[in-house]
Chain A
Amino acid sequence: MSAAEQALSTGSGMPLALRGPAPVRVVAGFGFWLFLLSDIILFAALFATYSVLSGSTAGGPTAAELFDQKHVFLETMCLLASSVTCGFGSLAVQRADARPLYFWMGATFALGACFLRMESQEFAAMVAAGAGPSHSAFLSAFFTLVGTHGLHVSLGLAWLLIMLLQVKTLGFQPMVSRRFFSFGLFWHALDIVWIGVFTIVYLGAT
């Protein structure tokens, strides 16, 4: 058997054309993966806007004057820790084990909420100091990029609550597990976007 044929028939030894459709779990996971990549392309457009406009401060405060690195570091750690607890939660979904699921996903929710609270504090302080989104092109781009990420995190938290309720009411049906796995993908992808945010927006400022 040639290497190419072998690659085409991995696992079952049956040719690709005779294997039938992929299981729903795989199709749903792949579809959600495509959605996530298109979401990342949305963020790419916002990152591009920010990079182009980051110097256009219109005489207002610059990035280096505004951002508090310690605050951002704590935000980053919250999100990273929540990514790991979400991973442990997904493993509990896989084992259909409710107690560790509630524990780890509860921790994910708490850490995500911590992150959101810190971010909204930062936004409120900036607006109160007169550095709101309407002040300069730089600040508009900043609030759009970081705000869109924050919006995704809030939607993720709402989704997580709904999923926990579904586990409580429906149990670990295949449908519920599939959704929970998609939530895990979403949450990890948000953390990857945040790496770009803290590198380009907050650390790029210094």
Chain B
Amino acid sequence: MDSHIQPQGAAPGVDPRERHGARSYLIGLLYAVPLTVASFWAAKTSLVYPPAVPVLLAALAIAQMGVHVAFFLHISSAPDQTNNLLALAFGVFVTALIVFGSMMIMSHLNHNMMSMDELIKIQR
């Protein structure tokens, strides 16, 4: 059993017993820089099928957020990190609900509403 595990759970961020040294930040940088460069490249390249670009950008962004969470914030699936991970999962859930929910509702609204020009024509 890992003797580093804290019985009451660990705080997020830097570990008081330096489980993660400077190496963790350097590895994170090593992953984050190529991901950022790839995002900026993907946005203006003509090599990728254009309708697939937003999906590629989303995948790169989510990957980079994962890198930041794992290597900079040191959130992991270790037993003493359960509280932090559960809180994070709830945050991600609410964020997804707000963003995708709003986008879905508003696009349906736009779809079902008459365009402004036609509406004005009817009112005349």
Cα(A21)–Cα(B7), bound, Å: 10
Cα(A152)–Cα(B109), bound, Å: 33
Contact of B87 with A by CB under 8 A: yes
| Total count of chain B residues near the partner, CB < 8 A | 57
> Which DSSP category, helix, strand, loop or mixed, fits chain A's interface?
helix
Contact of B16 with A by CB under 8 A: yes
B residues less than 8 Å from A14 (CB atoms): 7
Q: What is the minimal beta-carbon distance from A54 to any residue of chain B, in angstroms? A: 10
A residues less than 8 Å from B122 (CB atoms): none
A residues less than 8 Å from B48 (CB atoms): none
CB atoms of B36 and A80 under 8 A apart: yes
> Which DSSP category, helix, strand, loop or mixed, fits chain B's interface?
helix
Cα(A11)–Cα(B80), bound, Å: 9
Task: Say whether, besides A12-B7, A188-B68, A90 and B102 are in contact (CB < 8 Å).
Answer: no
A residues less than 8 Å from B101 (CB atoms): 48
Those of A162-206 within 8 Å (CB) of chain B = 181-182, 184-185, 188-189, 191-192, 195-196, 198-199, 203-204, 206
21 contacts between A and B (CB under 8 A): A7-B79, A10-B80, A22-B9, A44-B98, A47-B99, A48-B99, A49-B102, A51-B99, A52-B102, A69-B43, A73-B36, A80-B29, A87-B14, A87-B22, A90-B13, A91-B14, A93-B14, A94-B14, A94-B16, A181-B11, A206-B44
